[in-house]
Amino acid sequence: MTEVVALGECMVEVGLTAPSQAALGYAGDTFNTAVYLRRLGLSVAYGTAIGEGDPFSAGILRMMAVEGLDAALVRTAPGRLPGLYAFDRDEAGERRFFYWRAESPARDYFALADRDALRQAVCAARLVYVSGVTLAIVGEAGRAALLELLTQAKTCGAAIAFDPNHRLQLWTSLEQAQAAIEAIVPLCRYVSAGRSDLDGLYGDAADAMAAAWAGQGAEVVVRSHDHAVMVRAGGSILRVSREPPVRALDTTGAGDAFNAGYLAARLRGEDLRASVTAARRLANVVVQHIGAIIPRAAMPGIGSAF
């Protein structure tokens, strides 16, 4: 049985390393988390749509095979290419993104997917993972199909995990993003959000919204700018203070890695504080490497034994 099903988009990643030089990889928010969850010992299936017959789509499938991700839920669209993003970094490791994804096949995933196979997969899983980017790219019809799918998954006993990962440029309006997110959250057992995402979505009402989500039954993790973490769960609040800063080379994928570390620990039965510690440990390693997905040998506590 596959323990985790993650749904979203894997893109071609172009990291600018110097003038006229770049490093090529494959990444995307839910894909990054899926890879790290697999490296942390969980069986993971990834659902997305890619092209067919091009070297980039082949590269995504090859990476999935190397990482041990189940590709049975992947669909292909002949004549189309996967989305692409490029990024550069400032001296603090903070990144700036540039996207080419308007024609990405992942936008049509729910039109291309085998709905019966997808439903069977999520109903057999312990955890289904999606993000605000997933919601944004699939469009209104895709969001309706996803909402139905997650409702079925929850009915079957799967936990739904969600990161709002707010990217305003992917939405037609802020109100559209808020409505889509607020339709998903009541189904969720786990919500993990960066403080900047919550602030971008709700401004001064961000804390009240996080509290409301917890009141709806979600375990809500908020990752703050200063690396402090707050977890709202079962009517209680856990505050984990910031740690000594790690020198960041590239913060790409840090939140995705945090989510993987946290969810893997929770699925192992770890308590909230231990799960935050595990999440931070992985995220702190990830920011010391360029790109969203670090070499397997660099994984804390796993190394080349994976």
Report d(CA 85, CA 102) in Å as an integer: 11
- For residue 181, the surrounding DSSP H or E stretch is helix 174-184
Report d(CA 226, CA 195) in Å as an integer: 10
Q: Which of 54, 199, 256, 271 is catalytic?
A: 256
Report d(CA 221, CA 210) in Å as an integer: 9
Max CA distance (Å), the chain: 53
* Alpha carbon separation from 17 to 55, 81, 88, 89, 250 (Å, rounded): 22, 24, 7, 9, 11
- Pairing assessment for the beta strands 219-223 and 229-233 based on DSSP bridges: antiparallel
Among candidate residues 227, 288, 238, 282, the one with its CA nearest the CA of residue 260: 282
Phi, psi of 216 (to 5 degrees): -85, 0
Report residue 163 as tokens: 């990161």
Strands of the chain (E only): list them: 4-7, 11-18, 21-27, 44-47, 49-52, 75-78, 84-89, 95-100, 127-131, 159-163, 190-194, 219-223, 229-233, 236-240
Report d(CA 107, CA 124) in Å as an integer: 25
Report d(CA 40, CA 205) in Å as an integer: 35
Per the annotation, the verdict on 256 as an active-site residue is: yes
Q: Which residues are catalytic?
A: 256
